[in-house]
Amino acid sequence: MNLRDKLKAIERPKVKATPVDPPPVQQFTDCWHGYEHYPLRDFPGALDVQRETVMLMQGEDMPLCLDPRRILYLDTETTGLMGGAGTVAFEVGLGWLTDEGFHVHQLIMRDYPEEKFLLQTIVDTAANFDVICTFNGKTFDLPLLRNRFIMNRIRTDCLEKPHIDLLHIARRVWKLRLRKCNLTNLEEALLGIPRVNDLPGAMVPERFFNYLKSGDFSQFDDVLEHNAQDIASLCVLLSHMCRMYEHPDQLRFDEDVYSMGVALDRFKHTEEARRCYRLAGGSMHAQGQQRLAVSYRRGGDRAEAAKIWLGMIRRREGGVMPYVELAKYYEHTEKDASAALDMVRQAISVMSEPSLFDDASVQETRNALQYRYERLKRKLGQDEKT
Amino acid sequence: MNVDQLAEQLRSDPLFMKNVVRWDIIPARQAQYADFPEGLDERLRPVLAKRGVHQLYSHQAHAVREVLAGQDVVVVTPTASGKTMCYNLPVLSSILANEDARALYLFPTKALSADQVSELYELIEEMGVDIKTFTYDGDTPGAARRAVRQAGHIVVTNPDMLHSGILPHHTKWVKLFENLKYIVIDEIHTYRGVFGSNLANVLRRLLRLCDFYGSRPQFILCSATIANPKELAEALTGRSVHMVDDNGAPMGARHFVFYNPPVINKQLGIRKGVIPEARNITSMLLKNGIQTITFARSRLTVEVLTKYLKDLVRDPLGNAGRVRGYRGGYLPTERREIERGLRAGQIDAVVSTNALELGIDIGALDACVLCGYPGTIASAWQQAGRAGRRKGTSIVFFVASSAAIDQYIVSHPDYFLHQSPENALLNPDNLYILLSHFKCAAFELPFEDGDRFGNAPGTDELLAYLDDAGILRHVDGRYHWSAEDFPATQISLRSAAAEENFLIIDISDPQKHRVIGEMDRFTVPMLLHENAIYMHEAQQYQVEKLDFDACKAFIRRVDVGYYTDANLNVSLSLLDIEREDERAGVHRGLGEVRVSTLVTMFKKIKFDTHENLGFGHVRLPETDMHTTAMWWTLPDALAAQYDSDTLKNGMLGVTNLLRIVAPLSLMCAPQDVAVLYQVKSPITDKPTIILYDNCPGGVGLAHKAYGMQALLLDQALQVVQDCTCPFGCPSCAGPIGEISMTGKKTALELLQALTRD
């Protein structure tokens, strides 16, 4: 057996390899370029994106003067979803706003030798922009492009710009309600636009390999369409999200406004966060109030926090928690052990209501209350003695 | 009682001494010192002095000198000789001199890496310098990984992680690859066979990437004593390597006792069991407060011995905890706890498989009991090395089992004491392994026309093949990875086939199913088939359900008086003949075969008496392996002299004899080579005896055996001629129960005929 036959014997390939046609392109002088243009009316408010609003949405610093026309929207289509040095971005879409409308510039490498032209186009284009905006680009697109730049011995500086990753923002605000925050879900839920005949992401890699085998450029048709839609969506979503951050009172869902409060809190926008917590009603009211109280307590305004907890007790919200919080407040801030003890008593009586869902944590809370109760009793006893 | 007193007492005990075949004392050895070599960073010496190190041992100085001179080095020294200094000193020195310099440490297991890092930390902390040492393995939290990639001066990992976690993502490790100065590989003697062949290819990939990033790292390798450390180091790295083997570390005196259990049935050549004898010796050591490690051959023996010994010391105070078992399949946390207990002296006796043979830090113990020959001389010395301190006497008992190889060793103690240990063989060009790593390499970096892959042969054919198969794409002078897969996940370095481990789940408590261990796919059919009795920390479990597709075994606690032993059926078919010859009517061949193994039934065996209590069926899929084999065909005239039963028993006898001599002559572990006979072989259509490499693709053992001409048969003949038993015993052609009354005679005649010129 020669080496070739041995290889065949031990491999037992799963699919029979089809004979490969000669590469569709023989001379490699540039990658494929495509251009799309969308009218400005499809991007309401896109030119009004403000630095201050973007800063509310995430922790990363933005250029002092953020010009919405200097944001580069970027999305890649790749040969594999697992990453690693052998995964290639065979298609890259770049989009940006001008006063006339939204431009999408799409690049395809029709074979591996065209990759360097594709990457060079990214370098040249990115030089004109201050900020990059992606959907999950922080963990996927940009690391992958960095790999490709390194493999082609091109400096990666062009990618090192302030970055707005809409996935991270979306997760913080909409995950509670939508659970899945993929682009399609967000488009439907926030913009009310369904995707029709969209190419599933898992099928993208095989389009490239099919093209390599067949030379049939139509393999890329729906890849390009899918990618252009993604890019345009990024721009629409960014301005939409900005508007929501500017007007949380217009949010229709209590989960969203509450989550936005938590997100704002995370980046220390305390006043804006409290505003959202106050707006959170319905099923989120109790949680909103609790967050609001904690926010005041953390800010040193314990009296305001106490007022909120009292309100919660009045409305029978939050179970045993506001009682415990108030007990702490009376004991440590007001130095009123008997008021604290009274709160603990009420808490114990609330806890004693039978519940179907008693588990270990309930018992733990009971124990903690009992402990607090006894400690306060001792404290009161000592106070009386002295 | 200390070891000296105990040794004295035993030597004056005629009952014990009548079973002692040989009692050697290896005298204490003085330390050989040498000055610190020139060129080490001056910040190192004060720190070492603070730790009581004012001079280096001669081998340490030698190694450091060669490394500083730019050589690739392999250091060969026994356990506890301070070999870590040989690499830590030059590595730390070079990072102190240039803070961009990087080093990569490879250890065969995670446990060993954990030990190493703590030792390095201490040195670095005492110097008060900012040298970042990180472990990067499957347990490294995601958040920490970025820091390791960016800032780690010394990255400690294992071959598996390097293969699937680092190399395929090399672009995230630019700093490491651009500045890689040293690659340290400890315990290289463990990289033999498939694992070694895989590692050699992982290193080919690593060096290829270093080349891309413009670095040329030096190798510092360490090995336990084997016959061919330099050859192994060179096969692994593809470079010529300087060997350092002038051990200068001191060693206390060591008693070496060869103990052969008494014969209880002279007719059948059966001796008293090795397990009860090893148990008695360990109990005696335990009672005298001598900290002991007992090595057993199998996981099962470990469990049986642990149970005996635990029962011996069990009391209401929880003293059973002073005896512990240790083997693969225990969870890492449990293992760490046992290692700590040994170092702290809270555990008096540990019974272990070869899992504790490696350099895992358990401190030095006073005594070691080898319950049976571990299979190779190198292993035996490694295990014996677990007992022995730099000062003070230690004692090692080798307790022979009735197995032929044990009997050979115990009746030829000089073979063990003076013979050089085994060669570590590996075959980086094993086609299976090579092909897999070619894929990984192409994924990591496209091949250019004319590129080589280390010193692998057939680069052009392999690339062209992968191009045809549509996995690579050849365009514009380069081969690009052109598939969706991530090839590294499809290879496991430790077995030739990439398979997932099975989880072992205890379902005794319906409220709380608990994972108590794991096992590789090849061992599962033998030990975890349905109704098997599985032992873990001396607790018996019965396998209730084996979900082969989901890779899970569900077991339930039981308490029964027996254990189970599965029967393995092997069948074989020929793929390709590579070489053939015929001498004096005996036909020999060498070629590639497919070996299919199947477990069909198991026996229930009673504890203590080892009676067979019955059997059960096993229904499991067959596993296939493609490997290299060599075979001898009996001439028709010879075979025609016997009726079929007599011939069968004779061939079985020859097979048993070859199993004894093959590992010794081929210098490999018994499990690395398999021997079987076929009365009508599908290869030759005639009665045939076949010897094959017991791993996919083979590591070269069948080739080596073919090259030995009739040597193996001559040796087998020697053994059967020299044995004084009348009709066969486990030390020669096999017990009568297996080969019948005619087996030994026929085997002798067959061998005489086969070796006649």
Cβ atoms of A317 and A289 within 8 Å: the answer is yes
Closest CB to A112 among B475, B575, B576: B475
Q: Which chain A residues have a beta carbon less than 8 Å from that of B575?
A: 1, 9
pLDDT tens digit sequence for B357-390? 776 777 778 999 999 988 777 788 888 888 876 7
Please report the sign of the dihedral spanned by the C-alpha atoms of residue A262, residue A264, residue A270, residue A271: negative
Transcribe A97-123 into DSSP letters: E-SSEEEEEEEE-SSGGGHHHHHHHHH
In terms of pLDDT, which residue wins out, B395 or B335?
B395
Going by C-alpha positions, the residue among B44, B94, B43 that lies closest to residue B68 is B94
Task: Among A229, A246, A263, identify where a domain stops.
Answer: A246
Q: What is the DSSP string of B663-678?
A: HHHHTS-GGGEEEEEE
Q: Do the chains contact at B171 and A205, CB–CB below 8 Å? A: no
Interface test with B, best of A2, A7, A157 (most B CBs within 10 A): A7
The position carrying tokens 């030698």 is B62
Answer whether B179's CB lies under 8 Å from B415's CB: no
How many angstroms separate the CA atoms of A167 and B487, rounded? 29
Contacts of A113 in chain B (CB under 8 A): 475-476, 478
Residues A97 and A163 in one domain: yes
Positive or negative: CA dihedral B439, B444, B450, B455: negative
Q: Which residues of A touch B (CB under 8 A)?
A: 1, 3-4, 6-11, 13, 17-18, 20, 23, 28, 79-86, 88, 111-113, 143, 146-147, 150-151, 205-206, 209, 212-213
Taking each helix axis from N to C end, the angle separating A254-266 and A270-279, rounded to the nearest 10 degrees, works out to 160
- Looking at CA atoms only, how far is residue A282 from chain B in angstroms? 37
pLDDT tens digits for B606-628?
776 667 788 888 888 887 777 88
Residue A79 lies in a domain: yes
B324 three-state secondary structure: strand
CB contact under 8 A, A28 and B174: no
**DSSP-assigned letters across all residues of B234-252:** HHHHSS--EEE------B-
Residues A282 and A195 in one domain: no
**Residue at A334: amino acid letter:** E
Choice between B751 and B672, residue whose per-residue pLDDT is larger = B751
Report yes or no: B412 and B294 within 8 Å, Cβ to Cβ: no
Tell if the CB–CB gap between B432 and A10 is shorter than 8 Å. yes
Residue A120 to residue A33: CA distance in whole angstroms = 13
Give the residue among B425, B358, B423, B426 at the shortest CA–CA distance from B200.
B426
Alpha-carbon gap, residue B397 to A218, rounded angstroms:
76
Angle ∠(B595,B598,B602) on CA atoms, nearest 5: 145
Mutation choice for A interface testing from B484, B626, B695 by most A CBs within 10 A: B484
Question: Is there a contact between A205 and A78 (Cβ–Cβ < 8 Å)?
Answer: yes
CA atoms within 13 A on the CB side of B570: 16
Burial of B570 (0-12, 13-18, 19+ CB in 10 A): middle
Instruction: Test B168 with A84 for CB contact under 8 angstroms.
Output: yes
Phi-psi region of B375 (alpha: psi -120 to 50; beta: other; left: phi over 0): left
Residue A352 counted as domain residue: yes
Residues A157 and A287 in one domain: no
Q: What is the pLDDT of residues B156-211, one digit of tens each?
A: 999 999 999 999 999 999 999 999 999 999 989 888 777 888 999 999 999 999 99
Which pLDDT score, from 0 to 100, does residue B331 have?
77
SS3 of A192, please? coil
Q: What is the pLDDT of residues A252-306, one digit of tens each?
A: 899 999 999 999 999 999 999 999 999 998 899 999 999 999 999 999 999 999 9
Distance, in Å, from the CA atom of B757 to the CA atom of B745, rounded to the nearest integer, reads: 20
In angstroms, rounded to a whole number, what is the distance separating the alpha carbons of residues B173 and B167? 9
How high is the mean pLDDT of chain B? 87
Residue B469 token pair: 């198969």
Query: Which residues of chain A have a CB within 8 Å of the CB of B476?
Result: 28, 111-113
Instruction: Give the one of A9, A86, A150 whose C-beta lies nearest to B575's C-beta.
Output: A9
Q: Do A146 and B458 touch (CB under 8 A)?
A: no
**What is the distance between the alpha carbons of residues A270 and A287, in angstroms, rounded to a whole number?**
16
Tell me how far apart the alpha carbons of residues A193 and A92 are, in angstroms, rounded to a whole number.
24
Q: What is the distance between the alpha carbons of residues B736 and B729, in angstroms, rounded to a whole number? A: 7
Please tell me the predicted confidence (pLDDT) of residue A14. Answer: 46
Residue A314 lies in a domain: no
The answer to whether residue B725 scores a pLDDT higher than 50 is yes
Q: Are B506 and B299 in contact (CB under 8 A)?
A: no
Res B537 pLDDT > 80? no
| Structure tokens belonging to residue B176 | 């490491």
Say if residue A234 is in the same domain as residue A351.
no
Question: Is residue A235 located within the same domain as residue A364?
Answer: no
- Interchain contact, A112 vs B592, CB within 8 Å: no
Mutate to test the interface with B, among A10, A12, A79 (most CBs of B within 10 A): A10
From B206's Cα to the closest Cα of chain A, the distance in A is: 13
CB contact under 8 A, A80 and B484: yes
Give SS3 for B223: strand
Answer yes or no: are the C-beta atoms of B111 and B191 closer than 8 Å: no
Task: Look at residue A382 in the predicted model and tell me its pLDDT.
Answer: 77
Cβ distance of B172 and A17 shorter than 8 Å:
no
Minimum CA–CA partner of B462 in chain A: A4
Residue B468 and residue A17: Cβ atoms within 8 Å? yes
In whole angstroms, how far apart are CA B555 and each of A272, B538, B552, B558? Answer: 56, 14, 10, 9
Q: Decide if A1 is inside a domain.
A: no
- Can you give the pLDDT at residue B596? 86
Same domain, A44 and A90: yes
Exposed/middle/buried for A363, CB within 10 Å: 0-12, 13-18, 19+?
Answer: exposed
Do both A273 and A235 map to the same domain?
Answer: no
Q: What is the 3-state secondary structure (H, E, C) of A301-339?
A: CHHHHHHHHHHHHHCCCCCCHHHHHHHHHHHHHCCCHHH
Q: 3-state SS of B442-481?
A: HHHCCEECCCCCCCCCCHHHHHHHHHHCCCEEEECCEEEE
Residue linked to tokens 């004060």: B46
Residues A35 and A152 in one domain: yes
Residue A309 lies inside a defined structural domain of this protein: no
> What stretches of chain A adopt beta strand conformation (E)?
32-39, 71-78, 89-97, 101-108, 131-134, 163-165
Domain count, chain A: 3
The answer to whether position A64 is within a domain reads yes
- Domain housing A278: 251-304
Q: Do A267 and A218 belong together in one domain?
A: no
Spatial contact of B681 and B719, defined as CB atoms under 8 Å apart: no
Q: In which element (H, E) is residue B598 found? A: strand B586-606
One domain, residues A228 and A261: no
Summarised one tens digit per residue, pLDDT across range A212-255 is: 999 999 999 999 999 999 999 999 999 999 999 999 999 989 99
* Weakest-pLDDT range from A355-364, B81-90, B401-410, B581-590: A355-364
Interchain contact, A6 vs B445, CB within 8 Å:
no
Q: CA of B487: which chain A residue's CA is closest?
A: A86
Nearest by CB to residue A1, choosing from B464, B481, B576, is B576
Taking only the tens place, the pLDDT of each residue in B285-315 is 998 989 999 999 878 889 889 988 888 888 8
Answer whether A10 sits within 8 Å of B444, measured CB to CB. no
What pLDDT does residue B446 have?
A: 96
Angle (CA) B187-B189-B195 rounded to 5° is: 95
* Residues A115 and A229 reside in one and the same domain: yes
* Predicted pLDDT of residue B345: 85
At residue B297, the pLDDT reads 83
Q: Is residue A114 part of a domain?
A: yes
| Interchain CB distance below 8 Å, B461 and A3 | yes
Whether the CB-CB separation of B288 and B6 falls below 8 Å is answered with yes
Task: Please tell me the predicted confidence (pLDDT) of residue A15.
Answer: 45
Considering the domain boundaries, does residue A310 fall inside one?
Answer: no
Are residues B461 and A4, on separate chains, in Cβ contact within 8 Å? yes
> From the CA of A235, how many Å to the nearest CA of chain B?
30
Question: B445: which chain A residues are within 8 Å (Cβ-Cβ)?
Answer: 85, 151
CA pair distance A236, A92, nearest whole angstrom: 19
B486:A82 CB<8 A: yes
pLDDT computed for residue B495 by the predictor = 59
Which residues, listed in sequence order, are joined to residue B259 by a DSSP beta bridge?
B20, B399
Chain B partners within 8 Å of A18 (Cβ): 470
* Gap between the Cα atoms of B270 and B264, Å rounded: 6
b or e along B3-37 (b: 16 or more beta carbons within 10 Å of the residue's beta carbon)?
beebbeebeeeeebeebeebbeebeeeeebebebb
More confident residue, B115 or A332: A332
Q: How far apart are CA A6 and CA B418, in angstroms?
A: 43
Phi, psi of B138 (to 5 degrees): -60, -20
Query: What is the Cα gyration radius of chain A?
Result: 29
- Which chain B residue is nearest to residue A146, measuring alpha carbons? B171
Q: Which of A205, A226, A246 is the last residue of a domain?
A: A246
Q: Which of B171, B475, B484 sits opposite A79 (nearest CB)?
A: B484
Q: Give the CB-side neighbour count of residue B728, counting CA atoms within 13 A.
A: 23
User: Could you tell me which residue, B385 or B439, shows the higher pLDDT?
Assistant: B439
Amino acid at A92: V
Nearest to A20 among B171, B470, B486 (CB): B470
CA-based diameter of chain B, in Å?
82
CB spacing of B168 vs A23 below 8 angstroms: no
Tell me the C-alpha to C-alpha distance, in Å, between residue B639 and each of A39, A152, B636, B716, B747: 92, 67, 5, 19, 12
Question: What is the CATH number for A190?
Answer: 3.30.420.10
Tally the residues of chain A: 386
Which secondary-structure segment (H or E) carries B553? strand B552-557
The residue among B622, B610, B593 whose CA lies nearest residue B696 is B593
> How far apart, in whole angstroms, are the C-alpha atoms of residue A352 and residue A349?
5
On whether the CB atoms of residues B241 and B72 are closer than 8 A, the answer is yes
Tell me the whole-structure pTM to 2 decimals.
0.80
> Are A295 and A165 in a shared domain?
no
Q: Is B505 helix (H, G, I), strand (E, B) or coil?
A: strand
